[in-house]
Amino acid sequence: MQRNSPDKIVGKNIYPVGCEHIKIVFTPFLLVRIHKNRIQSGALKDYRNNTKNMSRTITLKKKIERIRSENSFFHRHAFGVMNFSQMLSVFNDNFFKFLTIYYLLAIKGIDASSEILFWIGVLYVLPFLVCSSFAGMLSDKFSKSRLFIGFKAFETVILIGAYIAYANGFVFGCYAGVFLLSLQSALISPPKYAMIPELVKPGYIPKANGYLTSASYLAIIFGTFAASLVTDFFAKDFVRCLHVAMLASVCGLISSFLIPYTEPGKSTGKANILFFVQTYRTLKASRKTPKLVLMIIGSAFFLFVGAFLQLNAIPYAIESLSLSEQGGGYLFVGTSVGIAIGAMLAGRLCRKEIDLGLALFGIMTLGIILIFTPFFATSVTLSAIFFMALGLCGGLFVVPLESFIQTHSPSEMRGQIVATENFLSFTGVLLAPFCLFLFSKGLRVSALSGFILLGFIIFGYFVLTLRKLSSHFFHFLSLRFLHPLYNLHYIDYPQTVSPEDGKFALVFKTGQIFDVMLLAGETSKAHYIYVKSKPSLKDRLTRLFGSIRIVYEHELGNLDLNGLIPKGGRPYILFESVRLFYLFEHHNYFAVLEQGLSYQLRQVELKATTHMGHPWTKLFKRSELTYRFAPLKKTFISRERERARENAVR
């Protein structure tokens, strides 16, 4: 008999004639067998479904791991994704702030403009002062990328609340929206900046900061203009205008999920409610890293200067150029564009190393341009060039400072240092209107004179900073302005034979100041010791430069070389005459440098090669200069042998 499947057996009489009595015996067995087959077939289906789900899960996990792997597209472009996301946040901050101003003016009228602008300004700055230290502490304890995603989601929630406030004409809700978006910016700023060293290689940090600064200022420009354009496009339907902000927020939130995971910080500190105390503690801890506090103050000074330029641009446009208030706003847009261009340029110039000399050059040029403001106040075109040049110098100034802070900050407190920088920066933003009030009401000077006074303040800051960073400034001037004029060749450069970086000293037998300036472009660690016979009036200028120390002949008897050369510095020893060279040798200072301080001494000899041929060839070709670094000859003479020689001569 043909075997039937269990499904076909149910409900049919399969017993032969005369054997119906067996039905009682075998029916339970068959029912059990049929039920067992059904269970097995159902389990097989469940197993197949589970296998499909597991394979899908494994495939999804592989895709996620592929995205997070170091060779993936998103990991290689992690900084670009983060920069795009933060750019949209900066855009939303400015777009929503100005959109709220226009909305409140439409509700309350133009007469309430002073009140509206005052409260918007206060609510925008207040979170950066109060919450920066707390945000820095969070950044040092948790994963920076996860905090970034969380704060981007918080931005979307704030905009949903803004829809409700706008739709119902809730004035307090509009002010609360500005405050909360500013709070979101204050919270996201420390993870954003502290994440850069974890997303890019150390050599790309200056370039990344250039792109970040440039993107931020471009977003400020686009956000400011977009608020006006969208308001006119939707005929002051402010609820529909919010669609632009929501679209930017959602796009930024989606892109933030593509940022690779960063490890949580190892900070064990606790947040202090008194943010002044937390700021003081962070600055005190930052003093352990050389130049770090100086960079933090410089970054805060930059925002003070920017805020003053923005405020003073409006009265300058009215008084000097006979423009409207909007004309002053358009002039400052040129400054923002200049900052974006300068930041990009600084990032490219600092791609090999962080050039603090570039920052000094930028702030010095900024002060000089402001001092000569009257030459640009004759026309609108020259004033536009003037404001763009100010922004360009500002971009050159701020990018090396930000790069230094992110590179040299201790990893366990990098977020707190960025938060302290934010607190001091927005303190400078608050001081800018008081400074403008002092100039206009207290000193009763015009806006043009206010720019000149600001130029002198900036130049004073430059002089004070130059004392700490003079070696970096000399390095920048030599590398960017002198080296392109010559073809330099080095023979036996000591860096190739020195076992440690910086543990060698260069000795110039005579006063070859130009040669010293050319070699200053090889390192930013140089410290110059100039041995002279007697003082002169020009020596007082050297007090401005901390890397130059003049030693006079009468001081050679009790000279402390260890105090003259800072840790990690490279001494360049220069002599006014050959006699002082031998006198320095007579006091065994070369032996102290070589044996006591473990410096390898190299005497510098210059050989210049002139061009032969047509005069035009001489004009357009660079001169050839060859430096030879020879070991210093062992001609040390003991006092006993010197006395014997003197007696023999007598």
Helix (H/G/I), strand (E/B), else coil: 618: helix
- For the chain, the domains span 6-67, 78-272, 492-649
CA distances, 39 to each of 30, 32, 36, 44 (Å): 14, 10, 5, 8
At 219-264, the pLDDT tens digits run: 888 887 888 888 888 888 888 999 999 999 999 999 988 888 888 8
Closest CA to 477 of 524, 437, 511: 524
Rounded to whole angstroms, how far apart are CA atoms 89 and 256? 11
Highest averaged pLDDT of the listed ranges 6-10, 275-279, 499-503: 275-279
Confidence of residue 160 (pLDDT cuts 50, 70, 90): very high
Q: Average pLDDT in the 156-168 region? A: 91
pLDDT at 68 over 60: no
Q: Is 380 exposed, middle or buried (0-12, 13-18, 19+ CB in 10 A)?
A: middle
pLDDT band at 63; cut points 50, 70, 90 = low
> Mind listing the pLDDT tens digit for each residue in 71-101?
555 566 788 888 899 999 999 988 998 888 8
pLDDT at 644: 47
Which residue spans within 278-413 are E strands per DSSP? none
Query: How does the average pLDDT of the chain come out, rounded?
Result: 78
Mean pLDDT value across residues 523-529: 85
Report pLDDT for 72.
57
Query: Cα separation of 436 and 95, whole Å?
Result: 26
- Residue scoring higher pLDDT (540 or 470): 470
Residue 612 in this model has a pLDDT that exceeds 50? no
| Cβ(636)–Cβ(588) below 8 Å | yes
Give percent above pLDDT 70 in the chain. Answer: 78
Residues 78-272, CATH architecture = Up-down Bundle (1.20)
Report DSSP state, residue 271: -
- Name which of 108-112, 222-226, 474-478, 543-547 the model is least confident about: 108-112
